[in-house]
Chain A
């Protein structure tokens, strides 16, 4: 069975370490916050100017002055800090943020990522994604393995305008987990019940499979 969005988020949450500062992008990455192991301390950074982001507010306690980068209402935690956008990206560029998790439209087997524009069709803008991918120490991309037409999103070369070059380290899709290596996408784990053959057939970029690839355990 391919993973659902919550399972993808749950698997990413296992990559978090005690003391990490983490920036979670819009979409599936936001769900990672629901699965942070209770025994570790992780601080969430939101690039609109918040360090120490808390959960959604209780109904009736929403504050229009307190949102995350996805414009969702959020809360503060004891020890949170607020700052302006320039300071926010100072901490991102200076690599104070330990892990960035974001979505993508395409990833290439050299670590290039495309996520912000489909020429002539959809132009939403890059927001903070270009700053994040250009500077982050560690980037995990999470996305569906194929697009709605069934075409692979793990490619030899991105066809869409790039967000960053050679920056993606790891990818988690509904079918498996991959490391970006000089030889291509190295399959490190597969979703429960998903075969290596299925992953091969749905991966357009170079795929590296070494020995027995273990199934993810939940």
Chain B
């Protein structure tokens, strides 16, 4: 099935105020740059965003925070974004901080038809408040529920028009689980190819999870912490 759409603006058709989105990426690595820019252009607001981080002040999801399009953020680490911290401490932004592994597994569960699971992360901390806890084989665990989204926005390195995706290096991160958990999943790719151009053995995300796909453009791929070593 040909799932290709022309660009990010067309891909977001049907995305409305108040919806819940998943946005792939770790820091600025592997974020759907084109889709985030299109969201900013669209002016859609009242969004709940599920993403490991919240970008930086002037890039990634930070762009949507600055324009106050996000009502609630579900993330694990937001240390890189001063505007985020300001909005959270002032109460303008609703925030649910959850352990990174729990976030990944809740997305995976949402995309796998598993409504809840038990994890040891956060037992005895405020993360476990109000949640069911249970002992298994002598250790305590916290029940966590699945996460699902109206739209999942992911970025892959390569994809075919059937929606099969291949990620590159650590830009994979949360993208595969989020792709599974969207009612509508949109993939933007650096290289859109015809069916057959990707070896089936090399597919990371099978096309069944992807509803719309397009070739992104003008990737900035900003580096947050450029660290290098000197040549001997």
Q: How far is the CB of B124 from chain A (nearest CB, A)?
A: 3
**B80–A71 touching, CB < 8 Å:** yes
**A93–B101 touching, CB < 8 Å:** yes
In the bound complex, residues from chain A placing their C-beta under 8 Å from that of B231 are 58-59
Stretch at the interface among B1-9, B193-201, B206-214, B220-228: B220-228
**A86–B108 touching, CB < 8 Å:** yes
**B228–A56 touching, CB < 8 Å:** yes
Please, how many residues of chain B have a CB less than 8 angstroms from a CB on the other chain? Answer: 59
Q: Which A-chain residue is minimally distant from B171 (CB atoms)? A: A65
- Given A67-B225, A73-B225, A88-B104, A128 and B172 contact (CB-CB distance below 8 Å): no
- Chosen A-B contacts, 30 in total, with CB atoms closer than 8 Å, are A47-B100, A55-B229, A58-B230, A65-B221, A68-B170, A71-B80, A71-B224, A73-B225, A73-B227, A84-B176, A85-B100, A86-B107, A86-B176, A88-B101, A89-B100, A92-B101, A93-B120, A123-B78, A124-B77, A126-B76, A127-B77, A127-B99, A128-B76, A128-B99, A128-B101, A131-B100, A131-B101, A161-B125, A162-B124, A165-B123
Binding site secondary structure of chain A: loop
Q: How far is the CB of A209 from chain B (nearest CB, A)?
A: 29
User: Does B182 count as interface, using CB distance less than 8 angstroms?
Assistant: no
In the bound complex, residues from chain B placing their C-beta under 8 Å from that of A134 are 119-123
- Given A62-B228, A64-B222, A123 and B102 contact (CB-CB distance below 8 Å): no
Q: Which B-chain residue is minimally distant from A166 (CB atoms)? A: B124
| B81-131 residues at the A interface, CB under 8 angstroms | 85, 88-89, 95, 97, 99-105, 107-108, 119-127
Q: How far is the CB of B116 from chain A (nearest CB, A)?
A: 16
In the bound complex, residues from chain B placing their C-beta under 8 Å from that of A73 are 223, 225-228
In the bound complex, residues from chain A placing their C-beta under 8 Å from that of B170 are 46, 48-50, 65-68, 82
User: Does B52 count as interface, using CB distance less than 8 angstroms?
Assistant: yes
Q: How far is the CB of B217 from chain A (nearest CB, A)?
A: 16
Q: How far is the CB of A60 from chain B (nearest CB, A)?
A: 8
In the bound complex, residues from chain B placing their C-beta under 8 Å from that of A46 are 170
Going nearest first, the 6 A-B pairs with the smallest beta carbon separation are A89-B101, A131-B101, A124-B79, A165-B124, A64-B221, A130-B99
User: Does A37 count as interface, using CB distance less than 8 angstroms?
Assistant: no
Question: Which has the most chain B C-beta neighbours within 10 Å: A86, A89, A166?
Answer: A86
User: Does A120 count as interface, using CB distance less than 8 angstroms?
Assistant: yes
Bound-state CA distance A69–B79 (Å) is 13
In the bound complex, residues from chain A placing their C-beta under 8 Å from that of B89 are 120, 123
- Given A64-B29, A125-B77, A48 and B105 contact (CB-CB distance below 8 Å): no
Q: How far is the CB of A194 from chain B (nearest CB, A)?
A: 32
Name 12 extra pairs, CB < 8 A, besides A86-B104, A127-B77: A49-B173, A50-B170, A58-B230, A64-B29, A64-B222, A69-B26, A71-B28, A82-B169, A84-B104, A88-B104, A92-B101, A93-B121
Bound-state CA distance A118–B128 (Å) is 18
